[in-house]
Structure 1
């Protein structure tokens, strides 16, 4: 779906009213939210700008291979001079042409810099790559955050419906109690306690509705969706056939795709390249030089000659910073320590990702077992509720039994909703940890 169609679909979603939440048939998939966040998220935009900045830095480094050209022009007023003996006696005025002018053009083309220019370019490219990995890491973080909001909206939407269903059932029981009270077969205390139950359920419904509003606002703002959009999750997300690859496959994917691991590797490469730049300071610099100069008047003659002197030159320049032999040692030692630290951080990152993948994979498998258990629990709780309701109608159960059955049924239905969501959550957690979200 292109952006225009997506925005049109978003705007067609039913808006929130002042009371209970209404449910629209318009659906926004998680992938569509990811696509919208890619271009509209304010939290992701600085990362893209940082990439542009890094590209500019790389171009600046490449410009180090180009020649340096200096052009200077000067016009001056020259005052008269004087001549004396060495003891400042025998003063004589020395007239000098007052108009002075100068024009010079110098060109220097680096030929050999000890690898400084090449290393600077490679360092800039490595930093640009690291910035791209940082952007990928930020994108993955935003996507996983959006996934959390999205699944929470799905969970609380289902909880809302569970609460509505239980409130409706509780009100029917309450009406039955009132009818039995009129017949003298129920106590007022039973009615009061059940009214308290309904009141608590309605309060929970209000809290769920408020939580949905907060989650929707968080999701809309983070993804950069139009203001006023109400996100309705795609219900098919729970019935998708999720892949069941083994842990080894997930570990391999993490080692190949994790942005945090790629970022740690880039830090090692950057530190090593910084060492090369420091070493290049110990090598001589060689460059081609050419220039042309015209100056006037000629002041080296006495009396001065009121004419222009022009000359040009071409040659090879060699420079060597002797002090680098004893000054660069400390910088090189610091750079080596930085490389060692980056290498150790890479090892630690590798270990942490491996542990995270294992933990997420175990939780992912556990979520399937939890779903089986919660399905059975919900079934048993519902059966127990039906039994207690029948027995209560026949005056064979107490109001406390009814309240316990209602609470057990409600809790089991809530846990079943959570169990469904946990499977999807831990699947996307695996995708996030492995850099495939």
Structure 2
């Protein structure tokens, strides 16, 4: 049993064991999520079926190397014959043996078909390879989609923490403002303003909760998990260090590994094989053949000889389709245009991939710069919070100042975590 399958079984068992309890959170890493997707994604299963179909296509194409063997057996009733002279006169009935039998076995082995079989097998193998690339492309699309959901879920969980802290601090401010209102040093309007702010925070938090619920449902559905499973992102993922290579490195990686580049290259190869198949139509076919026949009665004699006759033969046959001289050129030209189209599309794919890599690389470096900037912002917000907190403890600052400083710090920390997630 593979490690991936074992991981999936353990994970699913632990999740289904929760079925009799209320909703529970489960920390799921990206690697575990990808393993579940490989096992349960309907899209990937469909691509797996396409690969199996293509593999079978290779086996079918290789049948062209095998001999064709036909076996026939028949029994028949023969009626009496009728014999006439050349002027259709003097007719007379000719008695016939009424039971006829025929047994034959024939075999043909293709020797040369102008490359039709060889190129057919080669094309089938290319289609098998294309199916494999399509499957990997589907896996990548699913993983990118899942990663997007996963990172958005991470951001939303961080937003919930910020709102929870903001709600907690706002309630403290409300209680403090109410006390000051009773003491006559604050207006009722101040209390109302902070109560309205609290309601806005609670509404915003509810919207984030709904977004978490939607994303969580999308994830558990795509991963084939129970509907009541609550996924919580793994916070250790931010500790992973991504490579800081130059743009040339990423361009080379894309040229070697990008699925669209591989697909376009295979499309060109398939087109070239299609050209060879079209040219094979203009070439002769050479085959060995052998047969054995056992027939009775012998009807080539009159009167008919009521005996069985066995005979066999072996030889070489050559056939040439004359019509290919004026039909095949059109098929060849069509195949050539198809290959030319595939080459131009390949050039387009390579160009678009290069442009995308260049753009993404700039954004990638920008994300690192953003992290560095936000780290400084968090440092400054934290220093400001420490100052305000010290003043508040010494009755120099108001609780509203604490609320503002805390909100600024939480907002800076949230932006920093989200920036790290974006990297």
Task: Identify whether the pair has TM-score above 0.5, normalized to the shorter chain.
Answer: yes
Aligned to 1:119: 119
Shift in CA distance, 380/16, structure 1 to aligned 2, threshold 3 Å:
farther
Aligned to 1:145: 145
Per-residue CA deviation, residues 97-148 of structure 1 (Å, 9 max, x unaligned), is: 1111111111001111111111111110111011111111111111111111
Per-residue CA deviation, residues 5-53 of structure 1 (Å, 9 max, x unaligned), is: 454346657979999x97x5x5321112112222222220011111111
Residues 16 and 230 of structure 1 are in contact (CA less than 8 Å); yes or no, is this contact kept in structure 2? no
Distance in 1 between residues matched to 2:175 and 2:56, nearest whole Å: 74
TM-score (norm 2): 0.90
Per-residue CA deviation, residues 349-385 of structure 1 (Å, 9 max, x unaligned), is: 1111111111111111101111223334455566677
Please state how far the C-alpha of 1:230 moved relative to its aligned partner: 2.1
Residues 170 and 403 of structure 2 are in contact (CA less than 8 Å); yes or no, is this contact kept in structure 1? no
SS in 2 for 1:82: strand
Residues 297 and 306 of structure 1 are in contact (CA less than 8 Å); yes or no, is this contact kept in structure 2? yes
Please state how far the C-alpha of 1:276 moved relative to its aligned partner: 0.4
Is 2:390 the counterpart of 1:420? no
Per-residue CA deviation, residues 80-112 of structure 1 (Å, 9 max, x unaligned), is: 221234454333212221111111111001111
Distance in 1 between residues matched to 2:162 and 2:407, nearest whole Å: 12
Shift in CA distance, 89/10, structure 1 to aligned 2, threshold 3 Å:
closer
Shift in CA distance, 10/75, structure 1 to aligned 2, threshold 3 Å:
closer
SS in 2 for 1:287: strand
Aligned to 1:58: 58
Distance in 2 between residues matched to 1:195 and 1:246, nearest whole Å: 52
Residues 78 and 98 of structure 2 are in contact (CA less than 8 Å); yes or no, is this contact kept in structure 1? yes
Residues 4 and 35 of structure 2 are in contact (CA less than 8 Å); yes or no, is this contact kept in structure 1? no
Gaps spanning 5+ residues in structure 2: where?
A: none
Please state how far the C-alpha of 1:287 moved relative to its aligned partner: 0.9
Aligned to 1:8: 10
Aligned to 1:284: 284
Shift in CA distance, 249/17, structure 1 to aligned 2, threshold 3 Å:
farther
SS in 1 for 2:251: helix
Is 2:73 the counterpart of 1:73? yes
SS in 2 for 1:293: strand
Residues 159 and 417 of structure 1 are in contact (CA less than 8 Å); yes or no, is this contact kept in structure 2? no
Aligned to 1:94: 94
Aligned to 2:164: 164
Please state how far the C-alpha of 1:212 moved relative to its aligned partner: 1.2
Per-residue CA deviation, residues 380-400 of structure 1 (Å, 9 max, x unaligned), is: 566677888979x9899998x
Aligned to 2:237: 237
Aligned to 1:308: 308
Residues 38 and 44 of structure 2 are in contact (CA less than 8 Å); yes or no, is this contact kept in structure 1? yes
Distance in 2 between residues matched to 1:309 and 1:360, nearest whole Å: 81
SS in 2 for 1:57: helix
* Superposed counterparts of 1:129-208, under 5 Å: 129-208=129-208
Alignment RMSD (CA, Å): 2.9
Shift in CA distance, 281/126, structure 1 to aligned 2, threshold 3 Å:
same
Aligned residue pairs total: 418
Aligned to 1:216: 216
Gaps spanning 5+ residues in structure 1: where?
A: 424-437
Distance in 1 between residues matched to 2:317 and 2:33, nearest whole Å: 60
* Superposed counterparts of 1:337-352, under 5 Å: 337-352=337-352
SS in 1 for 2:317: strand
Residues 275 and 336 of structure 1 are in contact (CA less than 8 Å); yes or no, is this contact kept in structure 2? yes
Aligned to 2:274: 274
Residues 247 and 358 of structure 2 are in contact (CA less than 8 Å); yes or no, is this contact kept in structure 1? yes
Residues 173 and 403 of structure 2 are in contact (CA less than 8 Å); yes or no, is this contact kept in structure 1? no
Q: Which moved more, 1:225-234 or 1:97-106?
A: 225-234
Aligned to 1:33: 33
